[in-house]
Amino acid sequence: MASIVHLQEAVDSWWVRRTPQLKVVFRVLFGVIWGIDGSLKFTPGLVSAFPQMVSDAAQGQPAWLSGWFSFWQAQVSADPALWVYSTGIFELVLALALCLGILRKLAYTGGILLSLVIWAVPEGFGGPYGPGSTDIGTGVIYAMVFLMLMVISATYGPSTWSVDYYLERRWPWWARLSEIRSPRPSPAANPDKA
């Protein structure tokens, strides 16, 4: 029993000691996923199939969402190439930002918004929901991953393995674009510092 406890402590210690490296690996792997997804937007046939994908997402949805899907069907049908290629470009830029660690705060925020738009339009909010529904869609999960990247960044501070780190050293104001920082406590909140 003591060896199992010792093994668990060693495993826990390994994770804790490597937190700075693991947060970078996690960010870069997520960037690679976005890069693959973005590059798939440029495959032949997607532009012609995209209006049907949005139309299919509207099928079986509640009546109160019909206006939402009608709006997007009209937008996408008018110029599907614009929507497909601009989404692909945004995804590739997001992938680059994640892999290089540049403009991370803006990338995480933009990633949340893009993920939610993908979830709400071509994924149809993951629905329709009913008997046999087993999946809520990937977009909302991606948004949560971006939110967790923000929390990790705010908790563990700046990443030395990022382009942002070097830009912040040269231009300190760059941190406003790249870092999620916790607010400084006021002197009244900490009587020892007063």
pLDDT at residue 189, rounded to an integer: 46
pLDDT at residue 192, rounded to an integer: 43
pLDDT at residue 124, rounded to an integer: 86
Q: Show the CA angle centred on residue 171, arms to residues 167 and 177, nearest 5°.
A: 70
Residue 194 has pLDDT above 60, yes or no: no
Q: Where are the alpha helices (DSSP H) in 41-182?
A: 46-58, 66-78, 80-100, 104-120, 139-156, 163-170, 175-178
Question: What mean pLDDT do residues 9-25 have?
Answer: 77
Q: Whole-model pTM?
A: 0.82
- The CA distance from 138 to 149, in Å, is 17
Over the chain, what is the mean pLDDT?
Answer: 86
Question: What mean pLDDT do residues 11-23 have?
Answer: 76
Which one is predicted more confidently, 173 or 184?
173
Which one is predicted more confidently, 112 or 66?
112
What residues contact 34, with CB distance under 8 A and at least 6 apart?
Answer: 91, 92, 94, 95, 98, 111
